Structure formats: C-alpha cells, structure tokens
Amino acid sequence: MSPRPSSFFWRILYNFLAVPLLFIGFQLAAFLSRAGVARFDKIRLGRLGRRNLFENLARQLERQKNSGPRFWIHASSMGEYEQARPLLQEIKQRFPGAVRILTFFSPSAYANINHANIPAEVVSYLPFDSWRNARRFMNLAKPAGALIIRHDFWPNHLWAAKQCGVAVLLVNASVSANARSWRHRPLVRHFNRAVFDTFDAICAVSPAAAASLTPLIRSPERLTITGDSRHDQVLFRAQSKKLDEVLPENWRDGSPMFVAGSTWPSDEEVLLPAFVAVRQLLPSLRLILVPHEPTPAHLAQLETQLADLNLLSVRLSQLTAKENKRPDFLPVLLVDRIGILASLYSAGQVAFVGGSFGPGVHSILEAAVHGVPVLVGPRFHNSPEAVELYAQKILTAVADARACEQALLALWQNAAHRQKQGEQHRAFVLARCGASAKMIDLLAGAIAKKQEERKT
C-alpha cells in the first residue's frame, strides 16, 4: 500500500529536518556530559551503549535455535519494561517457539535490568532513528509482529516496519486530554496522524484515553480499549514473590505493620510525626520505610530524623547480615535496597504511597493488589487509578501530619473497615487484569491478516 501524500511529506520533513537536529542534539549533550554536566550523562551512556549495536544484535539472533515467529517489543525505560513483561510472557505462551526481541531507549533501563531473568531471547538498545538504521534493524530482526509500549514510538522505525509488512500495535496507549498539550497543536497533530497511520491497532488503557487519542487517528476503527498491562504485571509480581525472601523473620512476627513506599523527604516530614503520634496509642506498631531514592545521604538524613523523634531504626542490609542480626524489637526498618517494594507491601496492614506530598504519587497498584488499604497525600491526580479510587471514596488522601495520624488510627481501630477497604482495593486491580491477553489476540489477528494480504 503506498503512503498517503501527507505521510510522504512528513517523512521527508522528519528525515531532512528533525533527524539531523536530533543527531546534533545528542552529540552536543554527550559532549556536555564529558565536560561534567551530569544532567546529560544518560544521553552519553546511551551513545556508548549503542556502539556495535548491529553486530551485537546479529550475534544474538544467530544464536537462536527457535524457529517460531519473531516479535519486536520496544520499551523506553523501566516503567515501560514492567508493562512489557506480561506481554512477553503471553507471547511465549501463545507461540512457544517465538523469538522475542526486546529493545530499550533508556540506558538506565538497559543497564539496571537483570539480563539473566528477562523474558526475551534477544535484548538490545533501539538504534538512533535514522531511516538507514531503521531499515537495517528491520532487515536483521525480521519481526512478524511488534508491540510499542505507551508513547516511545520513533517514526522511521514505524515507517520501516510498515514497509516490511510487520503487524504493529501501540499498547497501553494514552495521551493528555488537555487541549493545550503539544500533541494537540495543529502541525503536531497532523504529524502524529501520519505516525499513527503505521499502527494496525492502538490499544487504549481506558475510555478517557481513547477519547483523547481519537483526534490523532484517521481510522478510528483501529482504536480499541483493552486496559493496561500494568495490572497483569502487578498481579504476577504479587503471586511470584515470597515475603520471606526479602523480609527477615523478626519483621514477620505478627506486629501491626505500616509500610511507606517510594517516599520523598516531603512525604517523610508528614509521615514520621504521624507515626510517632499513633504509636502513643498503639505501641506495638512498626514501620517499614522504603525511600524512593535510598542514597547514602538520604538514608543518613532519615536516621537523624528518626533519632530526633526517639525512634530506633535499623537498615535492612544490617538486619540481614549474619553478624548484625537484631532480634530485639525495633519500631522502624529502613529499606536500603531497591526492587523489593512490591513484595514488602504484603507485610503491611496499611500502606502509604510516596510522591504524593512531592512531585506526584507513585503507583498505588503494588500495594492495592495485596488487599492493603492505601493512604496518599494531596498530589495524586497524576495517577488515573488513584483518581478513580478516590472518586469511589475508597482511597484515603491526607493533607498533613494530623490528618495522616487520624486516618491511621481510624484504620487500626476498626479492623472490619480496614479489611473491607483493602478488599475493595484488591478487587479494583483484579477487575482490570487480562489486558495482555486481549493485546496478543489483536496482534495475532493482525499478523494473520498481513499473511493473507501477502497471499493475494
């Protein structure tokens, strides 16, 4: 099928104007990083990681013994990778001999994932989005189908995939509904339409997301509401991780437990005084505190704050080291390890999700899936799930330390209310699971349609 005239215009403009500017921008950022400007370090690391990209990709593909179809899945960073995981697992279940080619844009994701435990046969950076690179990538990868997670879609790779007859889906799709968003400005909207034309299906996370996407799509029949694969991943992680693998026995002693996850200093200024006040009425209450960034400086600052409040604390790394085990009762466990928060939430009877007194709340799903009632601060409107739960009057938002204290007391003094709210939170997550299977159904159908078109 020949491209629309408008799409051809945007391809020319993108490749002769945007691509050179992007290339110059990346080169300049890498130079500034070498000169000591830390904010550009990720771009420099990304450039270094892409050296010999095609040679490494070819070697990985040559080692593959599987003869099934190939699938390309692209995730920008760690958040998108978590959304991709249930899709990768669903592909393997449907196509046991499949070769899954997972690409990343961000060096922070590529460098920090556990490469030994990735549900993909091939892992690579995504090449810089020039037309030559995109064609070379498609000729090497030869995918039958592709999944682009959320919004990290690069035009040349999509145009090359379409030209090669690859079935391409945009999944977990959403854009801002704000009319002032740059995506809705006239020129950008026309460019986005040319890019969205490359997708065989666009899977929106919700009816609201579908409504926001509609002005950007020329063929609305390609837009469908499937839900968000994050819910599937949250459930999978809750079922696969065992608490005793991450939390020592003396912190699984049946004491009432409050878990505060992904906290920022602005959250801790509210939480810690509230926790002290509640412990005056409930002395056995304990706190598992999981900072969003457990840097040495932040951990030291927290230990000072806790000491000023007369709260004894211990770091998780110290507690689990054989020579430093503390069998005595301590009210605060300071978690200095990343990647285990989703499991730690299951230890609590109540949870607080951080960021909500700072830049915006982090994911509430990881706590909710365990049937734990969730507290948040006032800044939660960046999370659609938090907004929906709050509208249903089953999410507790607190404005300050006093309100946090009262909310905690209300939950611990009324076990039936606490249990009911936790069950409502878990039901909210479970009702939204199954998106991954719907997306792979659509992908399989799009691949079959492409194969029929090639026969005729």
CA distance 404 to 447: 52
pLDDT digit string (tens) for 298-341? 999 999 999 999 999 999 998 765 444 544 578 999 999 888 89
104 and 125 assigned to the same domain: yes
User: Is residue 286, in this structure, part of any structural domain at all?
Assistant: yes
Q: At 228, which amino acid appears?
A: D
358 and 446 assigned to the same domain: no
Residue by residue, DSSP assigns 384-413 as HHHHHHHHTT-SEE--SHHHHHHHHHHHHS
H-run or E-run covering 290:
strand 286-291
Q: What is the pLDDT of residue 66?
A: 82
User: Is residue 232, in this structure, part of any structural domain at all?
Assistant: no
Q: What is the pLDDT of residue 184?
A: 66
CA distance 97 to 80: 24
CB 367, CB 385: distance < 8 Å: no
Would you say the C-alpha torsion 132, 134, 138, 144 has a positive or negative sign?
negative
For residue 115, the enclosing domain spans 50-227+434-455
304 and 391 assigned to the same domain: yes
Grouping H, G, I as helix, E, B as strand and the rest as coil, residue 86 is: helix
372 and 446 assigned to the same domain: no
User: Is residue 203, in this structure, part of any structural domain at all?
Assistant: yes
Q: Please, which residues have CB within 8 angstroms of residue 312's CB and are 6 or more apart in sequence?
A: 306, 330, 331, 332
Q: What is the pLDDT of residue 180?
A: 63
281 and 155 assigned to the same domain: no
Q: What is the pLDDT of residue 181?
A: 65
CB 407, CB 277: distance < 8 Å: no
159 and 250 assigned to the same domain: no
Q: Which CATH number is 90's domain given?
A: 3.40.50.11720
Q: What are phi and psi of 447, to 5 degrees?
A: -65, -45
248 and 313 assigned to the same domain: yes
189 and 253 assigned to the same domain: no
User: Is residue 121, in this structure, part of any structural domain at all?
Assistant: yes
Q: What is the pLDDT of residue 139?
A: 97
CA distance 404 to 396: 9
Q: Which CATH number is 345's domain given?
A: 3.40.50.2000
User: Is residue 20, in this structure, part of any structural domain at all?
Assistant: no
User: How many domains are contained in the chain?
Assistant: 2
User: Is residue 31, in this structure, part of any structural domain at all?
Assistant: no
CA dihedral 228, 232, 233, 235 (to 10 degrees): 130
203 and 245 assigned to the same domain: no
Extract the residue ranges of the chain whose pLDDT is less than 70. 1-6, 176-184, 320-328
90 and 112 assigned to the same domain: yes
285 and 366 assigned to the same domain: yes
DSSP label at residue 375: E
Grouping H, G, I as helix, E, B as strand and the rest as coil, residue 242 is: coil
Q: What is the pLDDT of residue 5?
A: 59
CA distance 439 to 225: 10
State the CB neighbour count (10 A cutoff) for residue 103. 25
CA distance 231 to 379: 22
Q: What are phi and psi of 352, to 5 degrees?
A: -120, 135
pLDDT digit string (tens) for 163-211? 999 999 999 998 866 656 666 677 888 898 999 999 999 999 989 899 9
User: Is residue 13, in this structure, part of any structural domain at all?
Assistant: no
User: Is residue 277, in this structure, part of any structural domain at all?
Assistant: yes
Token couple for 115: 């490469």
- Quote the mean pLDDT of the chain: 91
109 and 212 assigned to the same domain: yes
